[in-house]
Structure 1
Amino acid sequence: MKIVSSARLKDESKAQLLADFPDIDFSFRYGMKEVGEEVQDCEVLLTYGEDLTDEHIKEAKQLKWIMVLAAGLEKMPHEAICERNIIVTNVRGIHAVPMGEYTLNMMLQMAKKTKTFIKNEEAVNWERSVPVFELNGLTVGILGAGAIGQEVARLCQAFGMRTLGMNSSGNDAPFIEKMYTEDTVDALLRQSDFVVNVLPLTTKTASFMDEEKFASMKKGAYFINIGRGKTVDEHALIQALDAGQVAGAGLDVFKEEPLDANHPFWKHENVTITPHISGLSSKYQRRAMEIFKKNLIGYLNGRNETLINRIDLTKGY
């Protein structure tokens, strides 16, 4: 069996794979361009998914399983993969810890007016009348109550917050006190002091947070986006911020990245911008490899139904 990785792996990750699976022919490359003709005879492909094309799938006659070392799948050639009935798995969930911490950090800096105090410090301004508030007793509404959303909820509960969630099924989830669906999400928005968007990008979630949704939010609530930039109508968000409907926004993802230097988000006093880093962690690849190795054992033993994070490409997640 040949396994090709187009994802750049650390030396320790490569060594561990070679030691744990000595009978497998591994090829470690960086990018599909470097993989080249090797795609033709690989059975398993490790990739970040961003440079995989229809042509690659067509050439990969032996390909049976794609392991995506990321959570987002929007750049994958879905139709070509579905036509071949190729198995796709990803590392959904390994971002939960860093993205949960990022979200709480963003909420705390909004509540404690950290940006204002940093500016005051730089201006040597001793100003104690800045209005701060507690998270305790407030309500957070989490759009996308999967592994990341549940970790956000767990941390919020530690701060004494009430947790609401939205998912596609409406089924209960750990740490979510009340679950909503897309059809009932307005009730979540009306109650939430913080709305945290963790939605993946699918045909159903594109521009999900639009003018109507922002208008449904509790006036003066805060919005945080750690999901996908294209799930938010950015113009509608700016209008909501300017009108005071949304008190502030913490944004890690955007419709177009990098964010254009002339984008109004940059100069908006009530917006905090980070460059798509909420999921970064020094433990990222180690966690990804743990999922891959467990899945590889299942695959080698013909237990494809047990593979972790198997993706339904018709849904996009």
Structure 2
Amino acid sequence: MEIVSSIYPAEELQEDIKNQFPNVNFKFYKGMKEARESFYRAEVFVTYGEDLVEEDINNAENLKWIMIMSAGMDKMPFKACADRGILITNVRGIHKIPMAEFTLSQMLTYVKQTNALLENERQEVWDRKIPMGELAEKTLLVLGIGAIGGEIARLAKAFRMNVIGINRHGHPHEYADQTFKIDQMKKHLDKADFIVSVLPSTKETQYLLNEEHFKLMKESAVFINIGRGNLIKDEILLKVMENREIAHAYLDVFEREPLPQGHPFWRMDQVTVTPHLSSITKKYMPRSFEIFKHNLHTYMNKSEDFINPIDPTRGY
């Protein structure tokens, strides 16, 4: 069996998987340009999910399984995969620790006035009158309380926060005080001190938020987006922040990336920009390979115990 990867991992990860699967022919490449010729012969393809087009799928006659080493799958040619009956799996869930820690760090930065303290330190200003807040008893609304959102909620509960969860079906979550369906979200936005979105990009979530949602929030609310930038149009969010509909926005994702130099978000005191890195961690690839190895055992044993199988008709 030939497995081709457009991802070139660390040598120790390559050696580990080759040792565990000695009868498999692994080929690792630095990008699809190098991998394409081998890809057309591959039975299994490992990718970040951003380098395939419909033509690739149609020309890869032996392809039976695509392992996506990411949770985001916006650019996957799902229809072509569905037509071919190709198995798709991803590494959903490995991001939950870094993304949850990132979210809590932003909330703590806000209530503990970290930016003001650092600026005072640079200016050698001793000011003990800076108003310091707490997360305790604040309300967090998690838009998309799945694997990542659930970990954010778990950490928030450790800080004694109240948690409202929003998901597709309104199913209860062990770390949410209340959970509601996504179409009930508007009724609960005014209760939240912090609103964090970890929603993926799907047909249902693209441009889900508009100016009306922000008008329903408290003026003191803080919005954090670590999910996908096309949750809301940048121009609408810019208008919201210029009008100070809410107090602050922490934005790790944008409708257009990278965020262009000169964009007003860079200069706004009430907006904090980070370059789509909330999920980045040194442990990203080792965790991804643990899921890949489990799924490869499952695939070779013709079992059904796959981690994170994807429905290509839904895109998740």
- TM-score tier, shorter chain, comes to over 0.9
Deviation of 1:160 after TM superposition, in Å, equals: 0.3
TM-score (norm 2): 0.97
In 2, the alpha carbon distance for the partners of 1:313 and 1:128 equals 56
Contact 2:249 2:272 in 1 (8 A): yes
Counterpart in the other structure of 2:193: 193
- Of 116-125 and 69-78, more deviation after overlay is shown by 116-125
CA contact (8 A) 1:165 1:188 kept: no
- Is 1:294 the counterpart of 2:279? The answer is no
Match of 1:20 in 2: 20
The reply to whether residue 118 of structure 1 matches residue 118 of structure 2 is yes
SS of match in other structure, 2:258: coil
CA shift digits 1:253-272 (9 cap, x unpaired): 11111111111110000111
Is 1:53 matched up with 2:53?
yes
Residue identity in the other structure for 2:272 = T
1: distance between equivalents of 2:13 and 2:302?
A: 24
Q: How many angstroms apart in 1 are the aligned matches of 2:259 and 2:137?
A: 35
Letter of the structure 2 residue corresponding to residue 286 of structure 1: P
Q: Which residue of structure 2 lines up, in the alignment, with residue 141 of structure 1?
A: 141
Aligned AA (1:314): T
**8 Å CA contact 1:66, 1:87 repeated in 2:** yes
What is the alpha-carbon distance in structure 1 between the residues aligned to residue 127 and residue 234 of structure 2? 33
CA deviation vs aligned residue, 1:117-175 (integer Å, no higher than 9, x gap): 21222222222322221100010000011110000000000000011111111111231
2:151 partner letter: E
Identical amino acids, percent of aligned pairs: 45
Amino acid aligned to 1:298: T
Q: Does 1:255 align with 2:261?
A: no
Residue in 1 aligned with 2:78? 78
Per the alignment, residue 220 of structure 1 pairs with 220
Instruction: In structure 2, list runs of 5 or more residues that go unmatched.
Output: none
Show structure 1 runs of 5+ residues with no match. none
Larger mean Cα displacement after TM superposition, 17-26 or 207-216: 207-216
- Partner of 1:306, secondary structure, is coil
Alpha carbons 1:211, 1:233 under 8 Å: kept? no
1:241 aligns with 2:278: no
Alignment of 1:60-209 (within 5 A): 60-209=60-209
Q: Secondary structure at the match of 1:258?
A: coil
- Count of residue pairs brought into register by the alignment: 316
Matched residues in 2 for 1:79 and 1:226: separation?
Answer: 27
Distance 1:22 1:177 in 2: 49
In 1: Cα distance, 2:214 partner to 2:99 partner:
23
Q: Compute the displacement of 1:245 (Å).
A: 2.2
Normalised TM-score (structure 1): 0.97
* Aligned position for 1:265: 265
Cα distance in 1, alignment partners of residues 237 and 174 from structure 2: 30
| C-alpha distance after superposition, 1:28-63 (max 9, x if no partner) | 111111012211221110001111111211111010
Q: Give me the whole-angstrom Cα distance separating, in 1, the residues matched to 2:179 and 2:233.
A: 24
Match of 2:40, SS state, is helix
Code of the residue aligned with 2:170 in structure 1: it is G
Letter in 2 for 1:269: D
8 A Cα contact 1:168 1:182, kept in partner: yes
| Residues 225 and 252, structure 1, Cα contact 8 Å, conserved in 2 | yes
